[in-house]
């Protein structure tokens, strides 16, 4: 293929995949947009050539899907924001290059292009990169399917987890590529079978009867508080403002109701005590779940506290969860424990990493309250449900980004978490998006971005449950199976080459 045509196909493919990630309801583009890329590389035989093509594809894809990183208002200047975006792009693009290096190795050992090995290899890298301190599953092509219009298709992830979508997307694209190259009936039948299978599974799995435990009564406060106001105001005044915004709910509802405030709703320094909580909440018997930015003995934590009558609404007596998964380089710098000077690189402060899967009690149920980027990690939510969570809460602060698509991309991850675990999800964001998702992934109620408001559980019902899905029981088995298949294909190729 001529160089211009090859580049044209790569750019078209990467651009369409990037658009599929944006909140434009274009996730279906991913079903076929890899085909032009496959056409571009089908005659490539050198590792260098394939790596160059993979780099171009990955860079353009991540540039389109993650361009919003330059709009972070918490970064000192535009140049640092641009540098952060480019570094993130290069790290994510390196993963794409790894996919095709691994695939090229399998091809070399088998003396031909094993196209149906590519879905397996892609899934291996997608899965492996979800581990570690610089993991970023946000960029996975599986997330193109996290949208309400595709619920008819994605219900099967209660079996496979999100990586089942990774392997399905690439598999479908490979089958369509074979239609282009072979132009035969078998390739068409294969493609139809691959496309229809998840739809059939989803029809069988959706709206299943679940034994509910109890109705969840709650209110979400979306304060829409400016980052600058929150960071430059005394914590006591911030708390007063949040209580004022919550006043109507506090006055009208009582008895075992959950009031949810967003991530780092206020600051907590060196075990300070705030009397406003007891004064305003004690008579209401409302249980407050709130995100807290805390500094204790010079160490920084991003936590969630449960304040209620049992602990007298006193932070120092309250049960808390400390964030386990951090935003790479923004909240935690790898190796900073060994090289303290790296702490200065962290954009928001070098947070301490939590290590406990804390569950909170609600009547006869238990729930997890996770923070921000943790909603992008399937395994984390799965571990909480394995330990007994009957519903899931996520608190976030996307106020660093004043316009789409960051908040929309972030919020949609919770659709996957609801389906994978078959647990209702309650999401509270400072500036949005706050919403409630049922166990089938349907968004029941929503507060849009940059709007102040309360979302109350009236007019609809959600219930806790103790169902354990196949994904919850067996975890990311599709990732481990892909690793085994990839090792098998590599080994077979090596053996055949030695014998041949």
Beta strands in 280-350 (DSSP E): 287-296, 299-307, 319-322
Q: What pLDDT score was predicted for residue 110?
A: 79
Please tell me the least confidently modeled range out of 193-202, 265-274, 282-291. Answer: 265-274
Q: What pLDDT score was predicted for residue 72?
A: 85
Mean pLDDT of the chain: 90
Half-sphere CA count of 494, side-chain side, radius 13 A: 7
Q: What pLDDT score was predicted for residue 447?
A: 96
Q: What pLDDT score was predicted for residue 352?
A: 86
What is the tens place of the pLDDT at every residue in 397-441? 999 899 999 999 999 999 999 999 999 999 999 998 999 999 999
Q: What pLDDT score was predicted for residue 127?
A: 96
Residue 11 binned pLDDT confidence (cut-offs 50, 70, 90):
very high
* Calpha distance 30→368 (Å, rounded): 32
Q: How far is CA 492 from CA 478, 480, 482, in A?
A: 21, 18, 15
* Calpha distance 495→23 (Å, rounded): 47
Q: Which of 207, 210, 206 is nearest to 154 (CA)?
A: 206
Please tell me the least confidently modeled range out of 7-21, 129-143, 464-478. Answer: 129-143
Q: Are 55 and 384 in contact (CB under 8 A)?
A: no
Residue 340 binned pLDDT confidence (cut-offs 50, 70, 90):
low
Please tell me the least confidently modeled range out of 83-92, 189-198, 265-274. Answer: 265-274
Residue 500 has pLDDT above 70, yes or no: no
270 backbone φψ class: left, alpha, beta (φ>0; ψ -120 to 50): left
* Calpha distance 54→175 (Å, rounded): 20
Higher pLDDT among residues 87 and 500, named by residue: 87
Q: What pLDDT score was predicted for residue 344?
A: 58
Distance in Å from the first CA to the final CA of the chain: 30
Q: Which of 64, 148, 139 is nearest to 95 (CA)?
A: 139
Q: What is the mean pLDDT of residues 48-63?
A: 97
pTM of the model: 0.93
């Amino acid at each position: 293929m001529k160089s211009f045509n090859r580049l044209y196909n790569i750019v078209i493919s990467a651009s369409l995949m990037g658009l599929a990630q944006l909140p434009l309801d274009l996730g279906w583009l991913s079903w076929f947009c890899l085909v032009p890329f496959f056409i571009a590389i089908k005659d490539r035989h050198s590792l260098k050539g394939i790596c160059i093509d993979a780099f171009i594809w990955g860079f353009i894809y991540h540039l389109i899907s993650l361009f919003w990183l330059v709009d972070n208002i918490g970064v000192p200047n535009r140049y640092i924001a641009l540098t952060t975006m480019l570094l993130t792009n290069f790290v994510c693009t390196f993963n794409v290059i790894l996919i095709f290096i691994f695939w090229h190795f399998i091809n070399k050992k088998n003396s031909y292009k094993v196209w149906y090995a590519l879905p397996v290899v892609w899934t291996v890298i997608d899965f492996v990169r979800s581990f570690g301190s610089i993991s970023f599953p946000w960029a996975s092509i599986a997330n193109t399917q996290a949208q309400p219009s595709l619920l008819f298709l994605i219900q099967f992830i209660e079996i496979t987890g999100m990586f089942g979508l990774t392997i399905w997307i690439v598999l479908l694209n490979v089958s369509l590529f074979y239609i282009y190259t072979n132009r035969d009936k078998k390739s068409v039948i294969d493609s139809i079978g691959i496309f229809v299978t998840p739809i059939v599974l989803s029809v069988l799995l959706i709206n299943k009867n679940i034994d509910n435990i109890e109705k969840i009564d709650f209110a979400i406060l979306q304060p829409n508080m400016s980052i600058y106001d929150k960071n430059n105001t005394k914590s006591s005044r911030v708390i007063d403002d949040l209580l004022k915004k919550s006043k109507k709910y506090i006055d009208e509802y009582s008895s075992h109701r959950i009031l949810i405030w967003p991530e780092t709703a206020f600051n907590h320094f060196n075990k300070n005590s705030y009397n406003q909580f007891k004064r305003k909440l004690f008579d209401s018997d409302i249980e407050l779940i709130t995100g807290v930015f805390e500094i204790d003995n010079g160490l920084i934590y991003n936590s969630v506290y449960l304040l209620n009558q049992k602990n007298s609404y006193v932070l120092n007596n309250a049960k808390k969860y400390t964030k386990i998964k951090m935003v790479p380089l923004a909240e935690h710098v790898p190796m900073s424990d060994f090289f303290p000077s790296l702490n200065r690189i962290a954009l928001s402060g070098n947070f301490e990493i939590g290590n406990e899967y804390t569950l909170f009690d609600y009547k006869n149920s238990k729930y997890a309250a996770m923070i921000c980027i943790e909603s992008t990690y399937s395994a984390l939510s799965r571990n909480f449900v394995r330990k007994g969570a009957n519903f899931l809460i996520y608190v976030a602060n996307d106020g660093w980004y004043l316009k789409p698509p960051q908040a929309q991309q972030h919020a949609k991850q919770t659709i996957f978490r609801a389906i994978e675990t078959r647990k209702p999800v309650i999401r509270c964001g400072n500036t949005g998006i706050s919403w409630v998702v049922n166990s089938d992934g349907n968004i029941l109620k929503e507060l849009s971005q940059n709007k102040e408001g309360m979302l109350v559980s009236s007019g609809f019902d959600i219930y806790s449950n103790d169902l354990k899905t196949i994904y919850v029981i067996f975890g990311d088995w599709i990732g481990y199976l892909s690793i085994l298949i990839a090792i098998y294909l590599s080994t077979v190729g090596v053996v055949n080459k030695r014998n041949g």
